[in-house]
Each structure stands twice: as C-alpha cells, then as structure tokens.
C-alpha cells in the first residue's frame, strides 16, 4: 500500500488486504467501498470469511463491467461501477470469446427468442440487442415476464425495433402465424418447464411444453424461413432419471431429427449445466433462507452441480450458434458448453452464509432434507453413448449415434397421451422413447434412483 490516485488508496495485491484495512482504520480512513479492478471470477485470493467481514463492516464491494457485459460498440466511453454479487464471486475464470463472430451472426438480423422473460431468455435478449440486431421479437406465455422484459428492452435499448408476442409454444397454429408475421432470421428456443420436482409431478405438462413445444418451434421456424433455430438444453438430459431431463432429451432428439438442404433452416441445440442466479435455482433459494435467518436446506451433503453465470451461459450460446452458422454442414448439431469443475452444494451453502457476514453452524444452520424423486448426486455433461470434440473455445460438439430418429408419429402418440393426462402412461411412453433414443432396450420408465456417478 502507499500508492494513491487522487486520494484513493491503491492496493497492489489481495494478500495484503487485512493489513491494509487495519492500517486505514488506524489512520481513521476506513473505506466505505472497495473497487476491484480485476474481474470478480479472478478474486480467488479473497476468502469467504474476509468478504463476510467486509460486508459486516458496511463496505460496498464494487467492480467494473465484466467482459460479457461490455457494450458491443467499438468505443466504450463509460464504464459504470456496480456491486459485486455472490454469483460472480463463485464463478469460474472469465472467458475470451470471438466477439467478431457473434457480431457477424447478430448484427442486422431479425431475432426471435421464446421464453424471452425467463432467466436465460432475458439475458439472450439483452446480448442480442447489444449486438445491434435489426429487430427483436420477445415471445412468452407469461404476461408478467413478457411485460418486464419488454419494459427493460424499451428503456435500455430504445433504438432496437422490437415486438412483444404473448404466445404458448404448445399452440402450433398460433405459433406458426406469429413466426410468419415476425419473419425471424434467427430463433433461440429458451421456453421450457425446468423445475425437476414440478415436472416430476406434472409429466403431461412437461411433455407438452418441452417436447411438443420444441417440435412446434422447429416447424414454425421452417415455415417462416428462419436461417437458424437453436434449442437451449440442459445436462439433465444426459441419462435422465427424472421427467424434466427426459423431456429435454426428447427435445434434443427432435432437433437432431431435423435435416436441412440447400438454404433450409439450420438446427442446433446447446447443452449446459446450472446457471447461477436463475429463477428457482439454488442461489436465490439460499439467499432467501439466509435472509430469513435459516436454516439453509440441502438435499445431500455430497451433491455436486456444474455452474456458470447467466451472462456467460448466454454468450456461450451465441458463440456456439455462430460456430454452427459457419461452413457447409446442414445436419442438426448438438453443442456442449465447458462447465469447469462441479461445485459441491454444501460448500456453496457455507460460502453464501459466510458472504452474508454470518458463520455456518453458529448463526445459521445447514439442514440435510434428503434427495427428491429423480434427483442425482452428480450430473454428467455427456451420455455413455456420446463423445465430444472441441469446435470453438469453451464449446464442444457432441457426437451422438442415436438409435432412433424421432418422427411426427412418435410425437403425435406422446402428445395424445399427454392430453389425456394419464400420468403413469405418459411417463412410461416418455421413458420408452428416451430408451430407444439412447440405444437401450425399449421399456417403461426406470425406477427412479440416486446415481452417485454421472
């Protein structure tokens, strides 16, 4: 310490943080805020206990925008500071992406995003608008979510022409009419039912939205002459033991069944793990439990998950899509985002409690509630029947030898069962199809079990 810029103390290394703060307190210059010039994911020198003490002392932790938040223009005139949040401190090292390829993909194109009001859908809206798309169509069935993202786009990107469309991906005729009216060049399909426990109890709804909805979006994309359609998938589609994962595996199979020739629509799917801070995910739940004074609940002390931040996930989706747009290949492609090392949920809970300025086990208890039906201890990003090859930084292409090409008749049968609402028959039919897709012997739904490996 000792360096100053206009009276602001400069600390060259995090190793001396405690020493510097003690010295500043001695001189009655204890700070009200600390601005970190490194990106948050690089602040590995800070312990959760240190951050907890800083928050307890009322010190704001500020940062500059991360690389995925910078405006996509050639010159940056203003770098607004903002508070570091918990998700960023738990994230991985920042990634360097080919922004030129993404700009080429988006700039001047008409883009439609389903599930535009959701966590990933909304972030895709922000990034697509920041890359200067020609027109943005926000499509969602949730009135509140659609209203909020439309208002945000109007206020943040007033120069981007846009249209908010309230439409259910289950309604094929309405969806196709909306697509034909909007004439998108590029479609991102983020609309889905994603909560494992909810879809487990409502398999018909999961099938109708996640499987039939995906089929409807592929057909609408072709009818509207879209250049590309991209499905947002999940690692829960790998060797699925729950209905949500099985429906997303079937959604991937719907995409993989698409073939285009000449100037037809290119199809791809992008698979990744959990995103930090998405609606209903573990971080917001832990935050809420900590704010109430605990306990923080986890289902198993050994449970692990892959995590990335919402902005990083969205930009990697764009990155993978730009990769798919290049070259002569017309077959449907499945991409996998590199997720780094899995995070133990118990460690995440302890970090978040410490980051709130409290001590795990003393101020706030951690309770183990037991695994829920269909829940795995760990997730895998690749099935045993799949392999992967690198195709871009942080993006792999999945090589899948599916034993079944999904046809309209498969989906019609599944849709009819879902509309009848017989929970057991829907589940049996769904897992039988997934078994065929994965190359297993066709059969009914597996007994839900805990899998200790991927």
Residues 220, 199, 254: CA angle, nearest 5 degrees: 30
Joined together, the tokens standing for residue 179 give 């697509």
What gap in Å lies between CA 413 and CA 367, rounded to an integer? Answer: 43
What gap in Å lies between CA 304 and CA 293, rounded to an integer? Answer: 24
Secondary element (H or E) of residue 429: helix 423-437
What gap in Å lies between CA 234 and CA 55, rounded to an integer? Answer: 34
What gap in Å lies between CA 403 and CA 435, rounded to an integer? Answer: 9
Phi, psi of 429 (to 5 degrees): -65, -40
Of the candidates 426, 264, 296, 280, the one whose C-alpha atom is nearest the C-alpha of residue 365 is: 296
263 has catalytic annotation: no
Of the candidates 18, 13, 94, 92, the one whose C-alpha atom is nearest the C-alpha of residue 51 is: 18
Query: In the chain, how many H helices and how many E strands?
Result: 16, 20
Task: Give residue for tokens 């570091």.
Answer: 84
Joined together, the tokens standing for residue 198 give 């909810």
Of the candidates 234, 304, 230, 243, the one whose C-alpha atom is nearest the C-alpha of residue 275 is: 234
What gap in Å lies between CA 436 and CA 413, rounded to an integer? Answer: 15
Output helix, strand, coil percentages for the chain, rounded to the nearest 5: 40, 20, 40
The catalytic position among 236, 248, 376, 394 is 236
Confirm if 275 and 307 have CB atoms less than 8 A apart: yes
Q: Other C-beta atoms within 10 Å of 412: how many?
A: 12
Q: Point out the residues that are catalytic.
A: 236
């Amino acid at each position: 310490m000792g360096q100053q810029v206009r009276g602001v103390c400069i600390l060259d290394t995090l190793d001396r943080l405690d020493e510097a703060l003690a010295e500043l307190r001695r001189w009655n210059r204890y700070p009200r805020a600390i601005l970190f010039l490194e990106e948050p994911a690089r602040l590995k020198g800070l312990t959760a206990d240190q951050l907890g003490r800083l928050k307890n002392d009322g010190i704001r932790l500020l940062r500059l925008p991360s690389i995925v938040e910078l405006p996509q223009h050639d010159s940056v005139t203003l770098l607004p500071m903002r508070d570091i949040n918990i998700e960023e401190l738990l994230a991985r090292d920042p990634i360097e992406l080919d922004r030129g390829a993404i700009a080429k993909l988006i700039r001047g194109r008409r883009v439609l995003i389903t599930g535009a009001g959701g966590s990933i859908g909304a972030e895709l809206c922000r990034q697509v608008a920041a890359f200067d798309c020609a027109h943005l169509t926000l499509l969602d069935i949730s009135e509140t979510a659609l209203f909020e993202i439309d208002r945000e786009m109007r206020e943040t990107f007033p120069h981007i022409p846009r249209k908010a469309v309230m439409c259910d991906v289950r309604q094929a005729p309405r969806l196709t009419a909306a697509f034909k009216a909007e004439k998108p060049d590029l479609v991102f399909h983020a609309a889905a039912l994603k909560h494992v426990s909810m879809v487990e109890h409502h398999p018909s709804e999961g099938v109708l939205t996640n499987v039939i909805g995906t089929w409807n979006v592929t057909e609408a994309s072709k009818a509207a002459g879209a250049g590309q359609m991209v499905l947002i998938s999940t690692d829960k589609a790998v060797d699925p033991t729950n209905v949500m994962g099985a429906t997303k595996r079937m959604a991937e199979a719907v995409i993989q069944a698409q073939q285009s020739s000449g100037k037809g629509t290119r199809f791809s799917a992008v698979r990744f793990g959990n995103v930090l801070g998405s609606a209903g995910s573990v971080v917001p739940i832990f935050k809420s439990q900590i704010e109430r004074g605990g306990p923080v609940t986890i289902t198993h002390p050994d449970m692990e998950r892959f995590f990335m931040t919402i902005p990083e996930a969205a930009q990697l989706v764009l990155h993978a899509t730009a990769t798919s747009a290049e070259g002569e290949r017309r077959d449907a492609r499945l991409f996998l985002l590199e997720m780094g090392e899995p995070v133990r949920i118990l460690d995440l809970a302890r970090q978040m409690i410490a980051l709130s300025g409290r001590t795990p086990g003393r101020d706030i208890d951690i309770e183990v509630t037991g695994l829920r039906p269909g829940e795995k201890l760990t997730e895998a990003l690749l099935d045993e029947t799949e392999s992967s090859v690198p195709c871009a930084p942080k993006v792999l292409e999945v090589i899948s030898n599916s034993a079944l090409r999904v046809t309209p008749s498969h989906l019609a049968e599944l849709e009819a069962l879902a509309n009848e609402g017989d929970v057991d028959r829907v589940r049996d039919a769904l897992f039988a199809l997934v078994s065929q897709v994965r190359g297993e012997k066709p059969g009914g739904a597996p007994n839900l079990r805990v899998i200790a490996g991927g």
